[in-house]
Structure 1
Amino acid sequence: METLRDVLAQIREFLEVPILKLGGSPVTLWTIIQLVVLVAVLFYLSGKLRTWIVEQFLTRTRMEVGARQATGSIIRYTIIAFGFIIILQTAGIDLTALNVLAGAVGIGVGFGLQNIVNNFVCGIIILFERPIKVGDRIVVGNVEGDVVHIGGRSTTVVTNDNITIIVPNSKFITEDVVNWSHNDRKVRFKIPVSVAYGSDVQMVERLLMAVAADNPDVLEKPAPGVRLMEFGDNGLNFELRVWSTTLIHRRGLLTSTINYAIYKTFADNGIEIPFPRRDVRIVGDERPGGNRANDMVN
């Protein structure tokens, strides 16, 4: 028993050996261990608190998922900031002695960590201004997908191919961002349709409206619309305009489904879909005694 006490006493003496001084406060191995353990506990507990706030407490309110995520993240960052200051004071570190260290860190941030700090600040701006939020359908640069997580440094976007793309937060502040569901998830789709000259335009309009009405993903309000856009080289160019909230993340599927229905409906009702045609005139030899041929080839 005495041997164990002697070993513990030696370990304690070893851990209490000063390594350096910050101001008038010595920093020992025991102090460093305390800092590491307390900071780890702080991050763990703040993460658990954020999860509880987002998934349990705020679910009782009418807040959207993105708003709950943003609120939870802001609360977590605030707790970490105040908790870190309290931990330093608890460990006996004189905060006034950190001014020099803060200056050195500032120089390092200005050179080597500027991108990280830039992305972190942009993440804070995103959480407060909420130009994007979790669940939004966004396009930034060449990336298109659903926002599934907004972190301090980056935002996670999942594409239709189930590929996860990590986008730095600064891109959402410095670049143009297309947010398909910023106000609400109601989006209008424009589907071009061509018919041959001589077609009954009133019948074309009725058939297109019927196709839109039969599609379960097309909203009744706002109502679909048909527009005759132009007289094209090969036919009349119409545009079917429909609204949807269910397939904004799969726009190709909605367009394909409607196009299939349009093709079948036109075929059943004798509406011709034009194809490019060119008239070629071949002029033969016009020399004296020569033959001249004028042929029209479609």
Structure 2
Amino acid sequence: MKTFHDILQKIEDFLDIPIAKLGSTHLTLWTVIQLLVLVVLLLYLSGKLRTWIVEQLLTRTRMELGARQATGAIIRYVVLVIGFVIILQTAGIDLTTFNVLAGAVGIGLGFGLQNIVSNFISGLIILFERPIKVGDRIEVGGVEGDVVRIGARSTEVVTNDNISIIVPNSKFISENVVNWSHTDRLVRFRIPISVAYGSDLELVERLLLEVAAENPDILDQPRPAVRLMSFGDSALCFELRVWSTTLIHRRGVLTSAINTAVYRKFTEHGIEIPFPQRDLHIRRNSTPSGSSPRPSAPDRPR
């Protein structure tokens, strides 16, 4: 028993060896271990708190998922800051000794970590102003997909190919962002359709509206519309305008279904879908036999 007590005493003496000094406080190995354990515990518990707030506490309210995610993230940041200060004071570290360190860190943030700070501040702006939220369909910097997570430094966007793209938060502040579901999920789609000259315009419009009415993903209100947009080189250019709330994240599926139905309708009713055509006129130069053809005049500038 005495031997075990001696071993514990030696371990305690070893852990109490000072390894650094912060002002009047001696930083020992035991203090470092204590700080690491408490910080890891703080990170774990704050994450569990955020999950509980988002998935249990706020689900009883009428808040949207994006608002719940933003609220949970903000509360976690506040808990982390307060908890970190309490941990330092519990370990006996005087916070006034960090004044010089804070100045050095500030200089480092100004030079080497400015992108990280910019993304962090942008993340706070996103959480407070909510230009985007979890579940939104967005386009930014050539990336299109659904927002699945908004973090302190970056936002995770999942494309239709199930590829996760990590976008820095600063892009959502400094660049133009297309949010397909910012206010609601009601979006109008414009599908261009061409028919041959000489087609029955009233029949074309009626068939296009029938296609829209038969598609379950197209809304009856606002009503679909057909517009004759222009006279092309080889076709009359129409545009079918429809509204949907279900396929804003899969626009290709809706466009493909409409085009397929339009092709079948036009085939059944004899409406021709044109292809580019050109008329060629060939001239034969008739000259008397034995005489050379008259040289053509040089082209004049137009």
Q: TM-score, normalised on structure 2?
A: 0.94
Match of 1:78 in 2: 78
- Higher mean C-alpha displacement, 270-279 vs 280-289: 280-289
* 1:38 lines up with 2:45 in the alignment: no
Distance 1:19 1:275 in 2: 81
1:117 matched residue in structure 2: 117
Aligned-pair distance for 1:222? 1.0
Shift of 1:286: 3.1
Matched with 1:219 is 219
Look up the match of 1:294: none
* Corresponding residue SS for 2:62: coil
Any idea what the Cα deviations from partners look like across 1:85-127, whole Å, max 9, x if unmatched? Answer: 1111111100011000111111222222221121111111111
CA distance in 2, matches of 1:150, 1:156: 6
Secondary structure of the equivalent of 2:287? coil
Match of 2:186 in 1: 186
SS of structure 2 residue aligned to 1:281: coil
The 5-angstrom pairing of residues 57-136 of structure 1 reads: 57-136=57-136
User: C-alpha deviations, 1:165-211, integer Å up to 9, x for none?
Assistant: 11111111111111111111111100011111221111111111110
Per-residue CA deviation, residues 11-51 of structure 1 (Å, 9 max, x unaligned), is 11111122222121111111111111111010000000000
**TM superposition outliers: structure 1 runs of 4+ over 4 Å:** none
**SS of residue matched to 1:165:** strand
Equivalent positions of 1:6-25 (< 5 A) are: 6-25=6-25
Structure 2: distance between partners of 1:248 and 1:286: 64
Output the amino acid matched with 2:102.
A
Q: How many pairs does the alignment contain?
A: 290
- Does the residue aligned with 2:246 lie in a helix, a strand or coil? coil
- Secondary structure of the residue aligned to 1:110 is helix
Q: Distance in 2 between matches of 1:288 and 1:191?
A: 58
Gaps spanning 5+ residues in structure 2: where?
Answer: 292-302
C-alpha separation in 1, matches of 2:218 and 2:53: 36
Describe the SS at the equivalent of 1:280.
Answer: coil
Aligned residues with identical type, % of pairs: 72
Measured in 2, the distance between the counterparts of 1:47 and 1:238 equals: 54
**Secondary structure, aligned partner of 2:228:** strand
1:254 maps onto 2:263 in alignment? no
Higher mean C-alpha displacement, 71-80 vs 114-123 = 114-123
CA RMSD of aligned residues (A): 1.1
Q: 1:251 Cα shift?
A: 0.5
Aligned to 2:56: 56
The worse-fitting range, judged by mean Cα deviation, of 20-29 and 65-74 is 20-29
Normalising by structure 1, we get a TM-score of: 0.95
SS at match of 1:254: helix
What is the distance in 2 between the residues matched to 1:98 and 1:243? 59
Structure 1 Cα separation of the partners of residues 58 and 242 of structure 2: 35
Give ranges in structure 1 of 5+ residues lacking alignment: 291-298
* Offset, 1:288: 2.9
